[in-house]
Chains A and B, each alone.
Chain A
Amino acid sequence: MAGLTPASLTADAPAPAVAAPRKNRPTSPWQEAWRRFRRHRLAVASGVVLLLLIAAVTLGPFIWPVAINEIDFTAKLQGPSWAHPLGTDDLGQDLLARLIYGGRISLAVGLAAMVVAVVVGVVVGALAGMSAGWVDAALMWLTDLFLALPLLPLLLLLMYLFRDHFKRLFGVEGGAFILIVVVIGGLRWMQVARLVRAQFLSLREKEFVEAARALGASKLRLVVGHILPNALGPVIVAGTIDVAAAIIAESTLSFLGLGFPSDIPTWGSVLRDAKDYLDIAPHWALFPGAAIFLAVITINFMGDGLRDALDPRRVL
């Protein structure tokens, strides 16, 4: 119990000793996280590789302006050469051009599906975490239900059922893209929802949330302005992993012929076309396989680095 505080202790001005030590100033939690991320060598290297990959697929068509569907039977199934750095397929189409084009689609699908998964997950998780009682129970039941579903068969079934419908609505390429993104994202939000809910349950009890409420912040402001920013760390990590998972899912779908139609190259569909020629033209499968591998593994390494950098115990 604190006792009488003798007047002599009442210092006339706040002592400078009270001021916090200030080394390298201002450090926001995000800057701190970036500093920790930078120490994670593998993650940084992965980030660089990934950036190069993204740069290659976005800038590639300008540097390597070769048509993706120029058929040349005289040059079919050729290995890497100066004319075709990554070789050609059975129709003599340039694989580099096709992989650049396919990479755009694969990476875009990965990112877009992640956005869908994160948005759905954050909304479901936030609603569940803020509302106690039956709303929470119902949403968590839904989440568990989705988690219990066999994903790949369901993915295939949904693609099979809605493919033609979406093709009619949004065109061949657009329809396939939207359907794939929605289906993959719509089946991958559960992890994010659980994370967000858990974060919300603990954050809503934090004193700074209480203090903001006591000073007149509305519920919406509390959620969006105070709770959510503090819950983002784990969401970013999960979202990163989701990009990799979505790239694999899209490749799988395309490989099985239920993704993009085969005249639209993606990494997965190129791989599918290549599979019958593994013995005579191994390069054909090697390059798209390597691209998928590289993208997925670098994204996962980045996820590891982000996990360490955004450890919520360190942010709060």
Chain B
Amino acid sequence: MAEPLLDIRDLKTWFKTDDGMVRAVDGVSLHIDRGETLGVVGESGCGKTVTARSVLKLIDMPPGRFEAGQILWQGRDLIPLDETEMNKIRAREIAIIFQEPMTSLNPVYTVGDQIAEVIELHQKLSRKQAMVGAADMLKLVNIPNPQRRVHDYPHQFSGGMRQRVMIAMALSCQPKLLIADEPTTALDVTIQAQILELMQEMKERFGMAIMLITHAMGVVAETTQRVVVMYAGKVVEEASVEALFGDPRHPYTQGLIRSIPRVDRSAGRQARLESIPGSVPSLLDPPPGCRFASRCRYVMPACTQAIPPLKEVAPGHKVACIL
């Protein structure tokens, strides 16, 4: 089998705070193959963002530090690389877009300048050529009047349009992997669907892989092929979309799926939502045993003894639960 594009092995990204060590990412393993869309789901505070930022080494150190693990990018570990070497990988190989399109663009430059800056940083092009490239990218992400709008400032764009600009920026150097950290969470529902569709379209065009981070199970169902479920800094289940929704094994995954809002077919009203009681436990010096134990309906004494390892229960389907 070909080696994965990105292979995260037993990654531990911890933060040293005044109160103690926050184990935000505590032994995460996941991989992404070329051209695939991997969904990473979990409630907020589960360590999804820290995982994503770890891949690009955007963690502030201190307080953060890589306690253990490897981040293999096409077989090469990124953890020992310095900032200069990482800057050659950022945008050119791995790009990221964030949750907040309203504040992710610099207010003092035109969007064209900002896209052109990324192009110039990574390709030997003149400013003029880079600006042409910027307009092309705006056109590609379906922004009307791209030739004119390259000269507009971020505040002249709506949230959805700014997220399109961010996507244009991120894809301007044709990366092999796009990490999208809750790219639609800050947008309203109609716009969300458009942005997800745009990402799909871009993926078909450029053939890059996508790591789509979200707390919304519905988004995962629609756009990804394989899913990793994270809980409290750990991967609790990994499966194909079909297996995950058809046969969810981990009680946390089951809870997430039950909490998806659905439109009742006959009456058109919302069915009762079943949300998981309780909240994500503190990642400050967590107790031994399954981290979901405090909220799990099947919890038993053995659960709090040792952390259940991630085990393969079917081909490509892994679960971390003693059940």
> Separation in Å of the A82 CB from the closest CB of chain B?
53
A225 to B121, CA, bound (A): 13
Are B189 and A9 closer than 8 Å at their CB atoms? yes
Are B216 and A3 closer than 8 Å at their CB atoms? yes
**Segment from B2-10, B16-24, B72-80, B94-102 that makes contact with A:** B94-102
Residues of A near B262 (CB, < 8 A) are 3-4
**Segment from A58-66, A70-78, A214-222 that makes contact with B:** A214-222
A230 to B117, CA, bound (A): 17
Residues of A near B98 (CB, < 8 A) are 207, 210-211, 214
- Contact partner of B110 (CB less than 8 A), chosen from A22, A26, A217, is A26
Are B104 and A215 closer than 8 Å at their CB atoms? no
- Is the CB of B190 closer than 8 A to any CB of chain A? yes
Interface size, chain B (Cβ < 8 Å): 64
- Contact partner of A29 (CB less than 8 A), chosen from B97, B153, B192, B222, is B153
B118-147 toward A: CB 8 Å interface, digit per residue (1/0)? Answer: 100110000000000000000000111000
> Which positions 180-210 of chain B face chain A at CB distance < 8 Å?
184-185, 189-194, 196-197
Task: Decide yes or no: A215 and B216 within 8 Å by CB, A5-B192, A19-B144 being known contacts.
Answer: no
- Is the CB of A206 closer than 8 A to any CB of chain B? yes
Task: Decide yes or no: A3 and B218 within 8 Å by CB, A16-B144, A210-B58, A214-B58 being known contacts.
Answer: yes
- Is the CB of A83 closer than 8 A to any CB of chain B? no
Task: Decide yes or no: A4 and B260 within 8 Å by CB, A11-B193, A211-B166, A226-B106 being known contacts.
Answer: yes
> Separation in Å of the B217 CB from the closest CB of chain A?
8
- Is the CB of A81 closer than 8 A to any CB of chain B? no
Residues of A near B91 (CB, < 8 A) are 214-216
Residues of A near B170 (CB, < 8 A) are 215
Q: Which residue of B lies closest to A213 (CB)?
A: B58
> Separation in Å of the A88 CB from the closest CB of chain B?
52
- Contact partner of A20 (CB less than 8 A), chosen from B84, B156, B215, is B156
Q: How large is the interface on A (under 10, 10 to 19, 20 to 34, 35 or more residues)?
A: 35 or more
- Is the CB of A27 closer than 8 A to any CB of chain B? yes
Are B219 and A216 closer than 8 Å at their CB atoms? no
- Is the CB of A153 closer than 8 A to any CB of chain B? no
Are B121 and A215 closer than 8 Å at their CB atoms? yes
A229 to B109, CA, bound (A): 9
Are A218 and B106 closer than 8 Å at their CB atoms? no
Q: Which residue of A lies closest to B52 (CB)?
A: A214
> Which positions 151-179 of chain B face chain A at CB distance < 8 Å?
151-153, 155-158, 160-161, 164, 166, 169-170
> Separation in Å of the A18 CB from the closest CB of chain B?
5
Task: Decide yes or no: A230 and B95 within 8 Å by CB, A20-B161, A216-B88 being known contacts.
Answer: no
Which of A9, A11, A208, A221 is the most central at the interface, judged by chain B CB atoms within 10 Å of its CB? Answer: A208
A217 to B117, CA, bound (A): 9
- Is the CB of B56 closer than 8 A to any CB of chain A? yes
A13 to B90, CA, bound (A): 30
Residues of A near B164 (CB, < 8 A) are 14
Are B160 and A230 closer than 8 Å at their CB atoms? no
> Which positions 191-206 of chain A face chain B at CB distance < 8 Å?
206
Residues of A near B260 (CB, < 8 A) are 3-4
A28 to B109, CA, bound (A): 8
- Is the CB of B108 closer than 8 A to any CB of chain A? yes
Are B107 and A218 closer than 8 Å at their CB atoms? no
- Is the CB of A315 closer than 8 A to any CB of chain B? yes
Are B261 and A20 closer than 8 Å at their CB atoms? no
Are A219 and B83 closer than 8 Å at their CB atoms? yes
A209 to B106, CA, bound (A): 8
Residues of A near B143 (CB, < 8 A) are 14
- Is the CB of B103 closer than 8 A to any CB of chain A? yes
A2 to B192, CA, bound (A): 9
Are A2 and B185 closer than 8 Å at their CB atoms? yes
CB-CB nearest 10 A-B residue pairs: A4-B218, A3-B261, A216-B90, A215-B91, A207-B103, A2-B216, A10-B193, A208-B106, A216-B87, A5-B193
11 contacts between A and B (CB under 8 A): A5-B222, A14-B194, A30-B108, A211-B169, A212-B106, A214-B56, A214-B91, A214-B98, A215-B96, A216-B118, A230-B106
Give chain A's interface residues, CB within 8 Å of chain B. 1-6, 9-11, 13-14, 16, 18-20, 22, 25-30, 206-219, 221, 225-226, 229-230, 315-316
